[in-house]
Amino acid sequence: MTAAPIAVVTGASSGIGAATARGLAAAGYHVVLTARRKDRIEALAAELTDAGHQAAAHTLDVTDRAAVDAFAASLEGSGRGQVKVLVNNAGGALGADPVATGDPGDWRQMYEVNVLGTLHITQALLPALTASGDGTVVVLSSTAAHGTYEGGAGYVAAKHGARVLAETLRLEIVGTPVRVIEIAPGMVKTEEFATTRFRGDTEKAAKVYEGVAEPLTAEDVADTITWAVSRPSHVNIDLMIVRPRAQASNTKIYREL
């Protein structure tokens, strides 16, 4: 029996990352879940394995380059299948302050994880993805990568960085057997995104979704990713912007209040 192709998912401990790991496991990939929180990814890997899928967990902070390189080397020597998919999902927002008062530390941290984290693991796995003869790099950007909004500058700047990484990589590696897919979700109601942004202030976090009939779910976005990844190899979904119906733009949201 040939080994199942490997799909690496970063930030797989919750939200879109966890849902994507589920989706890709169901699509037949051997899913390697990475995140900082060991307990969560181990529990999800066990759940997937119990359900008859192939999954493994590897604790990883994508901002730690040495750890990312060691992870890539461990995959090469694992005797598992070829690495065919990388889903760059690790990321997030910190704060929603205006430019005048935003914390430079927040900006730095958002650049570290959303841009440099994506850069580190993409660089580390690109040789394996290329060698597989049929690789896919997914970059989870955001609608914040395509337009700004008040209070969003730090996050918007970081997500623009992730988008530029994806677009530039696609130009640079054309002719190699690797495609680059950017998925840009709008309002997604996940367990942690807004709570992390507002540092545990659940009231502020709840306001983000207030009156919005049906924000996207992590599963909605995971479906989109799984669909894009499972197109035939020659089909490159360059970019998908995915929003809930109630959101016409970053700033035009219908709320039933």
Residues at the site binding ligand 8X3, with contacts judged by CB under 6 A: 142-144, 152, 155, 186-187, 250
List helix spans (H) across the chain. 15-26, 38-50, 65-76, 104-111, 117-131, 153-172, 193-197, 202-209, 218-229
Judged by beta carbon, residue 31 or residue 140, the one nearer ligand 8X3 is: 140
Judged by beta carbon, residue 234 or residue 252, the one nearer ligand 8X3 is: 252
Return the H-helix or E-strand segment holding 152. none
How far is residue 39's CA from residue 13's CA, in Å, rounded to a whole number?
9
How is the beta sheet containing 135-140 ordered, strand by strand?
Answer: 54-59, 30-35, 6-9, 83-88, 135-140, 178-185, 239-242
Where do we find the tokens 């500058």?
153
With H, G, I as helix, E, B as strand and everything else as coil, classify residue 163.
helix
Tell me which residues are annotated as active site: 155
CB of 226 to ligand 8X3, least distance (A): 19
CB of 108 to ligand 8X3, least distance (A): 18
CB of 206 to ligand 8X3, least distance (A): 14
Residue nearest to ligand 8X3 (CB): 142
Judged by beta carbon, residue 15 or residue 135, the one nearer ligand 8X3 is: 15
**In contact, 17 and 87? CB cutoff 8 Å:** yes
CB of 3 to ligand 8X3, least distance (A): 35
C-alpha distances (whole Å) from 138 to each of 8, 145, 170 are 10, 15, 11
Judged by beta carbon, residue 17 or residue 186, the one nearer ligand 8X3 is: 186
